[in-house]
Structure 1
């Protein structure tokens, strides 16, 4: 079975994966969707980290460290960032993190990833604007995407026939203009959410 879901909070994602395990769906992998196999219901304990590596040897050492502590690595690669672990030993620790600081650190690494992508896309957006390929002013004038002569002077059924006919083409013309700024804004939103969660966990740790 495959399920599509989007999470911005590691704890909520862990809770959902563990709930699926109790319903008899074993988490086996993730691409765009989550992949599950039918299995016996179990009270599983799945935890997540966010960490990427430049060297394969470092990644293997990372996995071995957790597996020695009773946590099996079940999903994630050297460069994927998202790493999933399942508790397989009754003697293992209750969490894959030893303290709040290390647990909060995954949000800090995640926020940096979202920010770096946004920063990478921003110069591209500026370059498209300065060369005339991307015209920011067009965002405020969607009518410019419609090229039918005299469209906006038409009335009644004549207008609606021409408008509805050209709308799919206008959307295609406008998609490129809207897409890149939308992606940048979306990634910045993800950055602020992850950074806020990091600060929240750090603040909670200081209070204790």
Structure 2
């Protein structure tokens, strides 16, 4: 059985996988949101996850540590990987103390930040290309590019939200207020980026396009500013 699911919260992802195990489904493969399951004895396995310590691969030393604890590595694509162990061997938690959990969440947040910035840069270039090349594009090609731009924009916003959620987990571990990591800053930054794009396109794109981008930018900046103000005075 295969299931597609995008998870940006490791705790919710583990709760879901452990629930699938209790229903008699064991995860055998994972990659880019696609989970592959096979039937198993209900509750046979427990799961956990981590970032690969060598980019897209796991170092031999880390593999040895996991194998010494009867932890099986599930084939996984990307920076993320999942592990499982027989429930009879006890609970599975790769990071048990606050300091190690804190370091893991900081690494996860760094990954989300880098990916979000990359998505925003791609969004900027796509927006530029669409606006500048409008007269030279076939309607079908322009439509495809516009849809791609919307998808990239949605991905960027999702990743920005993931940064905020991870920061909240870090704040909880440190015993700090969530206000130390307001997502409003990211929203304001996104609004400023969109405003910059509208100014860059002023001499190349139709006025209506520039006004639409500028209006969207102002909306983002307003939402971000209100979020920051609410967190400051609430």
TM range (shorter): 0.5 to 0.7
Three-state SS of the structure 2 residue aligned to 1:190 is helix
How far did residue 172 of structure 1 move?
Answer: 4.6
Correspondence 1:1-208 to 2 at 5 A:
1-31=1-31, 32-54=33-55, 59-76=59-76, 80-88=78-86, 94-123=92-121, 126=124, 133-135=129-131, 170=139, 172-180=141-149, 182-193=151-162, 195-207=163-175
Q: Quote the Cα distance in structure 1 between the aligned partners of 2:30 and 2:3.
A: 9
CA-to-aligned-CA distance 1:155-206 (integer Å, 9 cap, x gap) = xxxxxxxxxxxxxx8465222134236414523431442x323322232223
Q: Between Structure 1 and Structure 2, how many residues are aligned?
A: 175
CA RMSD in angstroms, aligned pairs only = 3.5
Distance 1:205 1:75, change over 3 A: same
Distance 1:191 1:62, change over 3 A: farther
Q: Which range is displaced more, 177-186 or 30-39?
A: 177-186
Which structure would you say has the larger RCO, counting Cα contacts within 8 Å and 6 or more residues apart?
A: 1
Q: Gapped runs of 5+ residues in structure 2?
A: 177-234
Distance 1:188 1:35, change over 3 A: same
Task: Give the conservation status (yes or no) of the 8 Å contact 1:26–1:37.
Answer: yes
Task: Give the conservation status (yes or no) of the 8 Å contact 2:109–2:167.
Answer: no
Name the TM-score, length of structure 2 as normaliser. Answer: 0.60
CA-to-aligned-CA distance 1:103-156 (integer Å, 9 cap, x gap) = 2433432333333234345555555666xx320797xxxxx9xx9xxxxxxxxx
Name the TM-score, length of structure 1 as normaliser. Answer: 0.66
Q: Quote the Cα distance in structure 1 between the aligned partners of 2:124 and 2:56.
A: 34
How far did residue 92 of structure 1 move?
Answer: 5.7
Q: Quote the Cα distance in structure 2 between the aligned partners of 1:55 and 1:137.
A: 36
Q: Quote the Cα distance in structure 2 between the aligned partners of 1:174 and 1:35.
A: 33
Three-state SS of the structure 2 residue aligned to 1:6 is coil
* Higher normalized helix content (fraction of residues): 2
Task: Give the conservation status (yes or no) of the 8 Å contact 2:123–2:153.
Answer: no
Task: Give the conservation status (yes or no) of the 8 Å contact 1:125–1:134.
Answer: no
